[in-house]
Amino acid sequence: MEHVKQPPDLISLPNSPAGGLRLLQALGPINALQAVDLPTMNDLFCAGIADHIPAYLNRRNADVKALQLALAEDDLQGVQEIAHNLKGSGSSYGFSKITEIGDGMEVAAKLGNRERVGACLSELHNYLLSVKSNLVGSDGLTTP
């Protein structure tokens, strides 16, 4: 009989290399996960990326700050480059909403639509706050 590897116990996750990452409790409440378009623990475990989520989210926090600066300096090329990276990375880490926001921001920057870029930036910031409140424990991960 072949041994099937099971996802790690979510209660023990804070002691894993993921640092302060806590994914609610054993996948639930599912409606809370779906409300902010978050990957499930099973998705992350299967993809082998759960340990990388804290660093990924911290980089998105840095992107928010860089985007704010680029927008303030009217650097739409800089906005476009960061947005392109968001578009490319979000789904890879299970955050399709980040991909969606990055795509919209990249298009807005290409068109010179500063107002839409600002709206996308606000949406990204608010989404990351939602992720933080749903995924992150108070013991180590710093996100916006």
Tokens encoding 110: 């290409």
* Max CA separation in the chain (angstroms): 62
**The predicted structure's pLDDT at residue 38:** 62
* Residue among 82, 144, 69 at smallest CA distance from 108: 82
Q: How far apart are CA 97 and CA 102, in angstroms?
A: 8
For the chain, 144 residues long, give each residue's pLDDT as a single digit of tens: 444 443 333 333 333 433 333 433 333 333 344 445 666 555 555 556 777 888 899 999 999 999 999 999 999 999 999 999 999 999 888 899 999 999 999 999 999 999 999 999 999 999 999 988 877 554 444 433
Q: Which residues have a Cβ under 8 Å from the Cβ of 97 and sit 6 or more positions away?
A: 36, 37, 90, 127
CATH homologous superfamily of 38-135 equals HPT domain (1.20.120.160)
DSSP label of 73 = T
Tokens encoding 12: 């023990």
- pTM, to two decimals: 0.65
Cβ distance 132 to 54 under 8 Å? no
Q: How far apart are CA 60 and CA 68, in angstroms?
A: 12
Q: Which residue has the tokens 């968001």?
A: 86
**The predicted structure's pLDDT at residue 16:** 40
Instruction: Please report, for the chain, the start and end positions of each structural domain, with discontinuous segments joined by +.
Output: 38-135
Q: How far apart are CA 103 and CA 86, in angstroms?
A: 8
Torsions phi, psi for 21 (to 5 deg): -70, 125
**The predicted structure's pLDDT at residue 52:** 81
